[in-house]
Amino acid sequence: MPSRKLESLAAGRTGSLRLLRLLLVVSVALPLVLFAGIGWREHRDSWAEVERNSRKTALLLHEHVLKVFDTMAMTLDRVDERTRGMGWPEIAGSEPLHRYLKTLNEDLNQIGVLAVTDPQGLIRNASNVFPARNAYIGGRAYFRTQQEADAGLLIGESMVSKATGRRSFSLSRRRTATGGPDGAFDGIIHATVDPDYFASFYHRVLADRGEAVTLVRGDGQVLVRYPMIRDENQALTLPPNRGLLLAIQTRPDEGVFLNTSYNDGAERFYAYKKVGDFPVYVVYAVDASLVAGMWWRNMALDAAFVAPATLALALIAWLAYARARSEAQTLRLWAEEVRNRQRLEEALRQSQKMEALGQLTGGVAHDFNNLLTAALTNLHLLGRHLPEEAKRFLNGANTALERAEKLTRQLLSFSRQDAINPAVVDLGDSLHRMGDLLERSIRADIALEWDVAPVPLPIAVDTVQLELATLNLVLNARDAMPGGGRIRLSVRPSPVAGHARLEVADTGTGMPPEVQARAFDPFFTTKGVGKGTGLGLSMVYGFARQSGGNATIESRPGEGTRVRIDLPLSPEAPAAPPPALSERPAEAPKPLRVLVVEDNALVLMATVEGLTQEGFIVETADHGVAALEVLEQDQAFDIVVSDVVMPHGVSGIDLARRIKERWPHLRVLLASGYSPESLATMGADTAAVLAKPFRPDQLAARIRSIVASPAPTSPKAAAVRSER
Ligand code: ADP
Ligand code: MG
């Protein structure tokens, strides 16, 4: 059988399937992992690049601001030079000075207004108008700072310009005092810075949306902001201890940081640089979302290359896997098929073996029954002629014969040729009824437990055989528990649809598989000589099969045994329990006339003798043909008792049929070792049947009961099953 090879092949397939599955997973997972790695790298690189660019941009912007401031400082110096030694009335009245200031202003785009202010805070000459309007700036912070002490070149606060009405800031210096550095304060020169100048410059330099530049004083005051935000009339101061002000605490010259904007809450990346020696920082910011966007674009580009390759790879792996799987599946199914066929063949062989054994044992038992009938009858007759003291020898012989009878019954039961008398009974009831018998057959160290389902389970069986089968099972259980234990008898609906289940479970030794395989075989026993016949379980099996059911064993060494009998449920309700034996029919006023047909001389002789003793008038015939000849002459018989198997072509069954046709009023009783069912299949459904072996008194009782019953009106009324 190629089954083993198939199975190893299938196992190999399973192994390569696992490999393919792994390949499939790897073909998807590996590119994903690589892609994630690339993504991480890109992310890192993007940020590094942003930092580099931001620092560079901040540096450029710083250079620009520094240049602006330097130029303005130079301009202020030149104005100081120009006005050196001039008194205030002269300054205020000098139109050339105004023109000079105006020219300087026009040369430098970044300057809004250039002005000279006296120590009292009045603007005495300015680049925008002449004569100056004497506007007062004495209250402003930068003026007061310069008034208090020489602050050098001072970057003023952000404020709304008196001259232009716009927000701006100024650069200022003291006029050089007439008395040298320690001379008295003699006014200031200052220039306001035009914010538009920076705005337009930044607009030209910065291309992207999402970029911003801020000019911030070290104290957090915002001087210029591009793009412009909010109400420009509001002075803007950065919150302390975060963002820029936090960053410059540790790195006062330049640096980068990530922060959420004080302005719109967006996350931004900042790079800052201090403008020369001025307490001013130029801060460049770029939106983090811009960086993320860039990263996504890069990743999308990478994915466009990686994804198709990955997909193709995965598809190929999947195809290979799917194909291998379907092949493995087919192989598995095939192997299964082969296994199933082997099981079936095994079962067939077993049932053929049982069938052959059944035929053999049936044949042997059948012949034995004839001999037993003759012996029993002769002993019965002998008994009448023996003195009382010799009767015990007779009893001994009778006991031996009864045992022999039981043995042949079991044999026949296995071969399913036993004459059975089925009746519909409730399985639970009939089991309860044998409680006493079962209790008596076990030992004191064994407990018998009952588990009977409280539902009606009507079955059509021969109750005698049911009892025998149950008894056999209980005895086997007892024998399997030499040290005591429990036997559990359970009755319940079977898992097999339409069946009732009787189960006998014990806590005994159990059976190894090789014993279990043969336990149902007739004559198979593991018990010592004289202890076991090997017919117990074979009878159980025969009974179950003959009743249309089945018997199975579940057992393992050391774990006890369960034997189950499944019996088909009967559609009929159980008959009422048989009433106490009805009084014997009154002795017939005239003796009954019987025609006995039997080819076995021994049996014939014994039967005739027995019936005569019982008070019958007996005629005989050697075979069917002879019987028909007798009946042609004389039909005045009450009954014809016939053997079944006879020579000369007319069997008991043929005889019964012919009698039925020609002399319908005549009764026929067939005596046979075959079961009524097997006789029925031969066409004997018109006659009553008595199982061999029998004693003369049993035969007589049966004859009387048949004759006493009403004459048959239809063939069915005399059918085998209705005879009880
Ligand atoms: P016998 O009882 O005469 O040996 P059976 O046909 O009843 O014959 O049983 C056949 C064999 O099956 C027994 O010899 C025994 O080995 C085994 N067997 C039957 N019933 C049981 C049981 N309940 N526990 C263990 N073994 C059992
Ligand atoms: Mg037994």
Is the minimum distance from the CB of 527 to ligand 1 under 6 angstroms?
Answer: yes
CATH architecture of 593-723: 3-Layer(aba) Sandwich (3.40)
> In the chain, which segments carry CATH 3.40.50.2300?
593-723
Give the pLDDT confidence score for residue 489 in this predicted structure.
95
499: pLDDT strictly greater than 90: yes
474 and 504 Cβ atoms separated by less than 8 Å: yes
CB crowding 348-360: b at 16 or more within 10 Å, else e: eeeeeebeebbee
Give the pLDDT confidence score for residue 676 in this predicted structure.
59
Give the pLDDT confidence score for residue 231 in this predicted structure.
57
* Domain at 401-568, CATH from 3.40.50.720, 3.40.50.2020, 3.30.565.10, 3.40.50.300: 3.30.565.10
Mean pLDDT of the chain: 84
Is the minimum distance from the CB of 554 to ligand 1 under 6 angstroms?
Answer: no
As a whole number of angstroms, the longest Cα–Cα distance in the chain is: 186
Token pair 């076991």 is found at 532
Give the pLDDT confidence score for residue 696 in this predicted structure.
83
* Pocket test residue of 354, 357, 537 for ligand 1, highest count of atoms within 8 A of CB: 537
Give the pLDDT confidence score for residue 581 in this predicted structure.
40
Token pair 């012949």 is found at 367
Average pLDDT over residues 353-359: 74
Residue nearest to atom 12 of ligand 1 (CA): 519
Average pLDDT over residues 168-179: 86
Give the pLDDT confidence score for residue 194 in this predicted structure.
81
Q: What is the pLDDT of residues 536-578, one digit of tens each?
A: 898 899 889 888 999 999 999 999 999 999 999 999 887 765 4
Give the pLDDT confidence score for residue 101 in this predicted structure.
94
720: pLDDT strictly greater than 80: no
Give the pLDDT confidence score for residue 72 in this predicted structure.
92
Give the pLDDT confidence score for residue 419 in this predicted structure.
59
112 and 160 Cβ atoms separated by less than 8 Å: no
Average pLDDT over residues 339-366: 79
Q: What is the pLDDT of residues 669-714, one digit of tens each?
A: 988 876 656 666 665 555 678 888 888 888 888 888 888 877 654 4
Give the pLDDT confidence score for residue 395 in this predicted structure.
82
Give the pLDDT confidence score for residue 290 in this predicted structure.
81
Using a CB cutoff of 8 Å and minimum separation of 24, what contacts does 615-620 make? 615/587, 615/591, 615/700, 616/591, 616/592, 616/700, 616/703, 617/591, 617/592, 617/593, 618/594, 619/593, 619/594, 619/595, 620/595, 620/596
Fold of 1-363: Beta-Lactamase (3.30.450)
Average pLDDT over residues 242-247: 87
Residues 87 and 109: their CA atoms lie apart, in Å, by 29
Give the pLDDT confidence score for residue 718 in this predicted structure.
37
- Written as six digits, the tokens of 540 are 């159980």
Q: How far is the CA of 561 from the centre of ligand 1 (A)?
A: 10
Is the minimum distance from the CB of 533 to ligand 1 under 6 angstroms?
Answer: yes
| Residue 459 pLDDT grade (very low, low, confident, very high; cuts 50, 70, 90) | very high
Give the pLDDT confidence score for residue 683 in this predicted structure.
59
Q: What is the pLDDT of residues 98-149, one digit of tens each?
A: 999 999 999 888 888 899 999 999 999 999 888 888 889 999 999 999 999 8
> In the chain, which segments carry CATH 3.30.450.20?
1-363
- Written as six digits, the tokens of 504 are 């006998």
Average pLDDT over residues 48-77: 92
546 and 675 Cβ atoms separated by less than 8 Å: yes
> In the chain, which segments carry CATH 3.30.565.10?
401-568
Q: pTM for the whole thing?
A: 0.45
Q: How far is CA 72 from CA 84, 113, 163, 175, in A?
A: 18, 12, 18, 15
The ligand with the least distance to the CA atom of 561 is 1
